[in-house]
Chains A and B, each alone.
Chain A
Amino acid sequence: DAGVIQSPRHEVTEMGQEVTLRCKPISGHDYLFWYRQTMMRGLELLIYFNNNVPIDDSGMPEDRFSAKMPNASFSTLKIQPSEPRDSAVYFCASKWGGGRNEKLFFGSGTQLSVL
């Protein structure tokens, strides 16, 4: 398997623009997570899905953020409108939820810069 695939790898946009981040989880994994990483706050969980259904979105900063998982092989995280404080690395991760000890597999991340 190719692992968790994220796109784009880098995104530079201007404040107010819409940003869409994409993720393809590992085939067979039934959990998908979106994390945001900054120097100050580390890795923060934004939202996670189980079998394409959002389970916990309490980490989504505000209404400007939305996430969807239309099928088992694709998820998007959208920011509209974007702000400079949204600049961070956004990671998608997936796992098989068969046991609590199942490890997360991370994608390479999207480095987002909002000017």
Chain B
Amino acid sequence: GQNIDQPTEMTATEGAIVQINCTYQTSGFNGLFWYQQHAGEAPTFLSYNVLDGLEEKGRFSSFLSRSKGYSYLLLKELQMKDSASYLCVFTGGGNKLTFGTGTQLKVEL
């Protein structure tokens, strides 16, 4: 079967760094996405990893270890607008994307 595990919610302080972890189990794997979803809005693309290692994009970085079935999203210099749900998503066979239930991040002053 296919399964994704990520924490339900996290809280962090403005200006700090937060790491959101994701583990997955699947029989077929092509790559891993992270999406951001603000309350009442549609998910939007943040990052994509297909090879092991770290991908950096501004304040956001995403890491993948295929052998461990593990990924994390790192958010630096947190801002209030970063309060949102962060969805770990993997692509298995074909073009099918499987979404996790998301980690609700709350950024506080």
Residues of A within 8 A of B (CB): 31, 33, 35, 41-45, 48, 50, 55-56, 91, 95, 97, 100-101, 103-109
Contacts and interface: CB of A to CB of B under 8 A. Distances in A.
Contact of B43 (A43, A50, A56, A97): A43
A103 B33 contact: yes
20 contacts: A33-B97, A42-B101, A43-B43, A43-B87, A43-B99, A44-B99, A45-B96, A45-B97, A45-B99, A56-B94, A91-B42, A91-B43, A100-B91, A101-B48, A103-B33, A103-B45, A104-B35, A104-B45, A104-B97, A106-B43
Contacts of B99: 35, 42-45
A7 B42 CA distance: 14
B21 interface: no
Contacts of B102: 42
Contact of A41 (B33, B50, B101): B101
